[in-house]
């Protein structure tokens, strides 16, 4: 069973006709702006580049030089302003639906209080999140991921994450049939035929979109998702229950977990690496290996900005995220060699793989770094084979 963005459930905010039309307009605007990124390259070649060369004596080549050439170009300024405005209006659009729908969503949540699917959620008012969690309102999400941390039942942050994430993905050309968890599951099935993990851990699980994908694919496995944001975790739990999928959610720092050593067969993360600092990434990779059983596998997946030979201009476009879209660690991750961090975490060189996995419904490929912990017989991905 594959869980993708077509999956629906009772907790999901339901837009009225006009609300849906407004969000669709923003999606189409984002798609148009995405196509205009190529035109920015034309602007560099036709105007900004020659202007830079006239004062510096050479054409811009590095990210820093391209930035210096482009920031004063009217075409780039207009594109940048529209791109940021489109993100803000997207959040406003889904936010209106969520606020209108909140009474109904709370009623649904009350009906799921007894956890009919058998899952669970544990958060703590005394939990202290790492400073990375407060570095910015990621993607410009209203209130940030930590929205609702002072409440015992607030799940609005998760509602924003799912509804906004669906619109954002469509706006960058990713289709509704795409699924990050399904892409990784298919990759694992091809690489390790017969691999059937008994316990699975999803790090930085946010609203649980990938977590339930593993619950659906491995119904006999025990599934856990951890995150620092209580509002995301509450929503993830309710969402899983509404979909009839059993998963357990815990408020933990993925870099300092309370799980026992060697207690999971599969440890995954999705789009987590670019959301944390280099120091946090090292701690998280070490913890992932610590809780991994012999014969188990760690898979960290992220957005398609690494794992390919991007041009300096493309890297300049990526850097826009840090400066204009509340991505405080984006540039830091671009400069980080994830396989080296895996080696620092204790994996041997022949136990680490850096690769890409094709999107199931999208224009590019997901970036993946994988770590294996061989069992006593030297087998990798051997959990419950046969």
Q: What is the pLDDT of residues 52-63, one digit of tens each?
A: 999 999 999 998
104 HSE (CA, 13 A, CB side) = 13
Per the DSSP assignment, residues forming a β-bridge with 120 are 248
**pLDDT for position 282:** 98
Percent of the chain with pLDDT over 90: 83
pLDDT above 70 (res 380):
yes
Mean pLDDT of 130-136: 94
Pick the closest to residue 335 from 281, 386, 287 (CA basis). Answer: 281
pLDDT above 70 (res 385):
no
**pLDDT for position 31:** 93
Per the DSSP assignment, residues forming a β-bridge with 299 are 268, 370
Mean pLDDT of 104-115: 97
Mean pLDDT of 244-264: 98
**pLDDT for position 323:** 84
**pLDDT for position 326:** 93
Give the pTM.
Answer: 0.95
pLDDT above 80 (res 21):
yes
**pLDDT for position 298:** 98
Mean pLDDT of 321-335: 90
Taking only the tens place, the pLDDT of each residue in 336-369 is: 999 999 999 999 999 999 999 999 999 889 999 9
Mean pLDDT of 275-294: 98
**pLDDT for position 383:** 73
**pLDDT for position 93:** 96
Taking only the tens place, the pLDDT of each residue in 156-194 is: 999 999 999 999 999 989 999 999 999 999 999 999 999
Q: How confident is the model at residue 384 (pLDDT cuts 50, 70, 90)?
A: low
C-alpha pair distances (Å), 251 with each of 104, 106, 178, 235: 26, 21, 27, 12
More confident residue, 50 or 305: 50
Residue 213 CA to residue 340 CA, distance in Å, equals: 29
Q: What is the mean pLDDT of the chain?
A: 94
Instruction: Note whether 298 and 327 are within 8 A (CB).
Output: no
Pick the closest to residue 158 from 242, 89, 223 (CA basis). Answer: 242
Mean pLDDT of 271-285: 97
Running DSSP on this structure, what letter comes out for residue 48? I
Q: How confident is the model at residue 228 (pLDDT cuts 50, 70, 90)?
A: very high
């Amino acid at each position: 069973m594959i869980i993708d963005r077509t999956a629906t459930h009772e907790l999901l905010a339901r837009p009225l006709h006009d609300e849906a039309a407004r969000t669709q307009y923003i999606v189409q605007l984002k798609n148009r702006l995405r196509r205009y990124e190529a035109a920015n390259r034309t602007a560099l070649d036709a105007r900004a580049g020659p202007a830079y060369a006239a004062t510096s004596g050479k054409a811009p080549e590095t990210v820093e030089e391209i930035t210096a050439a482009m920031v004063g170009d009217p075409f780039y300024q207009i594109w940048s302003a529209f791109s940021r405005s489109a993100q803000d209006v997207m959040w406003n659009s889904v936010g209106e639906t969520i606020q209108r729908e909140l009474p109904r969503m709370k009623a649904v949540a009350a009906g799921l209080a007894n956890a009919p699917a058998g899952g669970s959620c544990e958060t703590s008012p005394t939990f202290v999140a790492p400073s990375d969690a407060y570095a910015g309102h990621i993607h410009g999400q209203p209130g940030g991921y930590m929205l609702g941390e002072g409440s015992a039942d607030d799940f609005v942050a998760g509602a924003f994450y799912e509804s906004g994430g669906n619109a954002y993905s469509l706006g960058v050309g990713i289709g509704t049939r795409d699924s990050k968890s399904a892409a990784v599951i298919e990759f694992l099935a091809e690489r390790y035929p017969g691999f059937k993990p008994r316990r699975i851990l999803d790090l930085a699980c946010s609203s649980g979109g990938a977590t339930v994908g593993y619950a659906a694919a491995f119904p006999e496995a025990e599934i856990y998702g951890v995150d620092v944001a209580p509002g995301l975790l509450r929503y993830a739990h309710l969402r899983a229950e509404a979909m009839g999928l059993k998963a357990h959610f815990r408020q933990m720092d993925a870099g300092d977990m309370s799980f026992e050593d060697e207690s999971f067969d599969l440890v995954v993360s999705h789009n987590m690496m670019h959301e944390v600092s280099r120091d946090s990434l090292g701690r998280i990779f070490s913890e992932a290996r610590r809780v991994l059983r012999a014969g188990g596998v760690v898979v960290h997946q992220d957005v398609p900005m690494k794992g390919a030979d991007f041009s300096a201009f493309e890297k300049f476009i990526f850097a826009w995220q840090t400066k204009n879209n509340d991505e405080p660690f984006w540039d830091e991750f671009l400069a980080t060699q994830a396989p080296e961090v895996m080696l620092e975490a204790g994996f041997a060189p022949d136990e680490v793989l850096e690769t890409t996995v094709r999107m199931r419904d999208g224009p590019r490929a997901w970036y993946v770094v994988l770590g294996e912990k061989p069992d006593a017989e030297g087998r990798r991905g051997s959990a419950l084979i046969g």
